[in-house]
Amino acid sequence: MKVAMYYSQNDIRVDDMPIPKISQDEILVEMRACGICGSDLMDWYLKNRAPLVLGHEPSGIIAEKGEDVKGFDVGDRVFVHHHVACLKCHYCLHGDYTLCEQFHKTNIIPGGFAEYFKVPAPNLQIDTLKIPETMSFEEATFIEPVGCCLRALKKCNVQAGDSLAIIGVGAIGIIHVALSKIFGAEKTFVSDPIDYRLNVAKQFGADVAINPVKEDLTAIVKAETDGRGVDIAVVTAPNLEAYKAGLSVCRKGGKLCVFAPIEPSKYLQISPKELFFSEIQIIPSYSTSHLETRAALKLINSGRINVKKLITHRFRLVEAAKAFKTASESKESLKVIVLNE
């Protein structure tokens, strides 16, 4: 079978690999669509594991199932979550599913950017979802990213009437905008240096769009919030300046959501004294769990989030290198989808 093998950010090759063999409690899925995630573009995060097949936003059709598999049949249309928790450990019992040891050990094999991938038993049992006939394979690739955003806003305990600032509005930032309105946010600010993204964010409900290269983000947010700042600032851009901006627009007692990782050699300097007296809460949110993926599927299928409007580019699997180049370099790309056609 064909796979898109990641050797480095600028070296994505279409290689041949044997179709994975499944055991009696596993399934084999024929990939139909898989989204490129921002984390797929972070070379510092991936280079020590290369070469590898990426892709963790896949949807497809069950091509083969083991004899012990129940509840799924060949031909079923499915979304598969690449990581799943054990549901039994200390972390899981406290609702911290993404910190579970099994969560990091489970994965689809070899990855979503492949003609076929194997779904291990834990992934099948805990977080493989049948896709409704009313949902396309492309839409289903958004179940994982929407789930990640849902979990973040739930951790921040967004309330009706809150004000939010989304720093960085690629596809993930725009999903946060749409969800903020579903949660009842009164005013949602967005900040991004690319005007194209700001315009799309407004279509998804952003109330105030700010290009920080041209305007004073902090001054505008403070002016629009009676001098306070926002209740919640969500940083989706993986750089220090974005985090500094998030802190600058956060009100006293507000929340800074750490949604994007940055290189391990870079640090954000924060004064414990200022943190103490401002009582700003710093809330990281990594990945998503089986709870949010189910909620995300319902939100997408109901049309409450029109994810199709976020798809700007589509490429065939054999064009994977071009797909990655577009996702990393194009100023007018939001979601790039790789299709197995």
Global pTM value:
0.97
Question: Residue 64 — φ and ψ, nearest 5°?
Answer: -155, 145
Q: Which long-range contacts does 117-120 make (Cβ < 8 Å, 24+ apart)?
A: 117/20, 117/28, 117/29, 117/31, 117/55, 117/58, 117/60, 117/80, 118/20, 118/21, 118/22, 118/26, 118/27, 118/28, 118/29, 119/26, 119/27, 119/28, 119/29, 119/80, 120/26
Domain end point (choices 256, 284, 312): 284
Question: Is residue 26 domain-shared with residue 134, that is, in the same domain?
Answer: yes
pLDDT recorded at residue 22? 98
Residues 57 and 113 placed together within one structural domain of the fold = yes
DSSP codes, 59-118: EEEEEEE-TT--S--TT-EEEE-S----SSSHHHHTT-GGG-HHHHH---BS-SSBSEEE
> Mind listing the pLDDT tens digit of every residue in the chain (341 residues)?
999 999 998 999 999 999 999 999 999 999 999 999 999 999 999 989 999 999 999 999 999 999 999 999 999 999 999 999 999 999 999 999 999 999 999 999 999 999 999 999 999 999 999 999 999 999 999 999 999 999 999 999 999 999 999 999 999 999 999 999 999 999 999 999 999 999 999 999 999 999 999 999 999 999 999 999 999 999 999 999 999 999 999 999 999 999 999 999 999 999 999 999 999 999 999 999 999 999 999 999 999 999 999 999 999 999 999 999 999 999 999 999 999 98
CATH number for 95: 3.90.180.10
Rounded Cα–Cα distance for residues 126 and 306 (Å): 26
* Distance, CA of 43 to chain centre: 17
Q: State the pLDDT at residue 341.
A: 80
260-315 per-position pLDDT tens digit: 999 999 999 999 999 999 999 999 999 999 999 999 999 999 999 999 999 999 99
The reply to whether 85 and 142 lie within a common domain is: yes
Number of domains present in the structure of the chain: 2
Give the helix ranges, DSSP H, for the chain: 43-46, 90-93, 101-105, 121-127, 137-140, 143-155, 171-182, 195-203, 217-224, 240-249, 272-278, 290-302, 320-329
- β partners of residue 78: 60, 130
Q: Are 184 and 160 in contact (CB under 8 A)?
A: yes
The angle, 0 to 180 degrees and rounded to 10, between the axes of the packed helices 143-155 and 290-302 is 110
pLDDT at 250: 98
Judgement on whether residues 140 and 12 belong to the same structural domain of the protein:
yes
Are residues 333 and 308 part of one domain? yes
Name the β-bridge partners of 118: 28, 109
- Residues 209, 131 share a domain: no
Does some domain include residue 171? yes
Q: Which of 241, 259, 284 is the last residue of a domain?
A: 284
151 is a domain residue = no
Residue 60: count of CB within 10 angstroms of its CB? 27
220 assigned to some structural domain: yes
Nearest alpha carbon to residue 335 among 319, 316, 318, 313? 313
pLDDT value, residue 253: 98
CATH of the domain at 180: 3.40.50.720
User: Of 263, 284, 305, which residue sits at a domain end?
Assistant: 284
Residues 47, 78 within the same domain: yes
Question: In this structure, is residue 94 part of a structural domain?
Answer: yes
Q: Does residue 107 share a domain with residue 22?
A: yes
Which value, in Å, is the radius of gyration of the alpha carbons in the chain? 20
- What range defines the domain where residue 161 resides? 157-284
Domain contains 74: yes
Residues 261 and 319 in one domain: no
Domain co-membership, 168 together with 267? yes
What number of other Cβ atoms are within 10 A of residue 222's Cβ?
17
Same domain flag for 171 and 218: yes
* Residues 255 and 325 placed together within one structural domain of the fold: no
Rounded to 10 degrees, the C-alpha dihedral 50/56/60/65 comes to: 80
In a domain, 198, yes or no: yes
> Is residue 152 included in any domain, yes or no?
no
